[in-house]
Amino acid sequence: MSRVNFSTKPKIIDQSSELFLPEGLREKISFTDGEIERISMLICYLKSLPPQSKTIIFANTIKVSRRIQFFLSSLDYKCTALHSHMEQKQRLTKL
């Protein structure tokens, strides 16, 4: 095994999410069991936000993202689902 010689001393870069979140942006991660509990927790969280707040919700499958969109739309939240089976033009149009 050979050793790598750097021309200068290497810099250590900390990529913690706290350091790179823009001012006014919050990250919230919740781990729950069961879909009903997740949806209920999500709805409670969204109701706690000020009106006109913008939120991005990440889901692990297209099926789950569509289900979230259905629940939120039925509660009169303006929302859309973006996923990999859509063409880029469709995704940009929905934004």
pLDDT score, position 56: 86
pLDDT higher than 60, residue 17:
no
Q: Which two tokens stand for residue 6?
A: 């750097």
Q: Report whether 71 contacts 43 (CB < 8 A).
A: yes
pLDDT score, position 73: 93
Q: What is the mean pLDDT of residues 69-95?
A: 88
pLDDT higher than 80, residue 92:
yes
pLDDT higher than 80, residue 55:
yes
Could you tell me the pTM of the whole model?
A: 0.64
Q: Report whether 85 contacts 62 (CB < 8 A).
A: yes
| DSSP tally for the chain: helices H, then strands E | 4, 0
pLDDT higher than 80, residue 21:
no
Q: What is the mean pLDDT of residues 40-69?
A: 88
